[in-house]
Amino acid sequence: MLALKQALSLVSTPLPKWTPLDESSVVAWWQHATDVADDGSPNYKVSQWKDQSGNDNHFLQGTLSERPVNGTGATSGVITFDSSNTENLETTSQISLTGDFTIGAAIHLAAGGGVFLADNTSNGEFFRFFSTSVVRIKIDNATAVDISKDEGNFLEKAYMVLTRSSGTITLYWNGVAQADTEDLTGTADIDNLGVRKADLNPYDGTVSEVMIFSSSSDALTAEVNARLSLI
């Protein structure tokens, strides 16, 4: 019986049955370890990460020196971005979020200062880890807002959700809503993972999954957090 219990404990926890495809508002879903194309041994440089939403918002990088690195073996699908190489991925089409939105990601930040999602063709459009404890958001090249983490820093393997509901942006870190919320309206434009215009503030760390929705609700936030917690 003890051996059976030990064997069962080694089985990884399955992901919940819910997926982003259950939501009509899904805009993009770059699924963990799914449809990631790299150049193989020895560098495993990522050239494409396909969107699973059906909207064809695929991530691409045609410049070899700017391609992030795909993990191998047990870490396959964990994509590492080296800021010293300005590594980033570009979307095949423009994503524009005009109203409510939900953005979720499984990440491991290595340093502050880098941009997560942004527009690399228009000024003033980004979601940036301004420091190791502050997320800065700028939309429509207007005044940026800063959301501070309740305590500690972002330098850990974690999952993050950002929601905008009726103009109010809330940050969830490892499933916990942070006390600092900010109001910011306008159209959030996204065409890049890793830098903002023009190739500034490169992201430093890993990304395992990203999802974007053009809606926000408590139920959706709960589902996104539950899925990301198991990646």
Q: What is the reported pTM?
A: 0.93
CB 96 within 8 A of CB 122: no
CB 83 within 8 A of CB 114: yes
Pick the CATH number of 26-228 from 3.40.50.2000, 3.40.190.10, 2.60.120.200, 3.90.380.10: 2.60.120.200
pLDDT of residue 4: 41
Name residues whose C-beta falls within 8 Å of residue 1's C-beta, 6 or more positions apart in sequence.
none
Domain boundaries, the chain: 26-228
For tokens 């991530």, name the residue: 59
Span of 10-19, 27-36, 123-132, 212-221 with lowest mean pLDDT:
10-19
Q: Where are the alpha helices (DSSP H) in the chain?
A: 2-9, 218-228
Q: Burial level of 24, CB count in 10 A (0-12/13-18/19+)? A: exposed
pLDDT digits (tens, 9 = 90+) for 128-145: 999 999 999 999 999 999
Residue 24 has pLDDT above 70, yes or no: yes
CB 51 within 8 A of CB 30: yes
Q: Sheet of 115-118: strands edge to edge?
A: 36-38, 46-49, 59-60, 89-97, 188-193, 115-118, 126-129, 134-138, 145-148
- The SS3 assignment for 98 reads coil
The Cβ of residue 7 has, within 10 Å, a number of other Cβ atoms equal to 9
Q: What contacts 24+ positions apart, CB below 8 Å, involve 168-176?
A: 169/137, 169/145, 171/135, 171/147, 172/221, 172/225, 173/149, 174/229, 175/225, 175/229, 176/150
At 32, give phi and psi (nearest 5°). -55, 130
pLDDT of residue 171: 98
The predicted model gives 62-70 an average pLDDT of: 98
Output the average pLDDT for the chain: 94
Rounded Cα gap, residues 107 and 155, in angstroms: 10
pLDDT of residue 33: 98
pLDDT of residue 7: 42
Residue 152 banded pLDDT, cuts 50, 70, 90: very high
pLDDT of residue 168: 98
Residue 58 has pLDDT above 90, yes or no: yes
First to last CA, the chain: 29
The predicted model gives 157-184 an average pLDDT of: 98
In the chain, the amino acid numbered 62 is G
Residue 14 has pLDDT above 80, yes or no: no
DSSP state of 12: P
CA angle 33, 44, 62 (to 5 degrees): 95
pLDDT of residue 13: 59
pLDDT of residue 15: 67
Residue 1 banded pLDDT, cuts 50, 70, 90: very low
The predicted model gives 183-192 an average pLDDT of: 98
CA 8 to chain centre: 32
pLDDT digits (tens, 9 = 90+) for 83-130: 999 999 999 999 999 999 999 999 999 999 999 999 999 999 999 999
pLDDT of residue 8: 42
CB 80 within 8 A of CB 69: yes
pLDDT of residue 27: 98
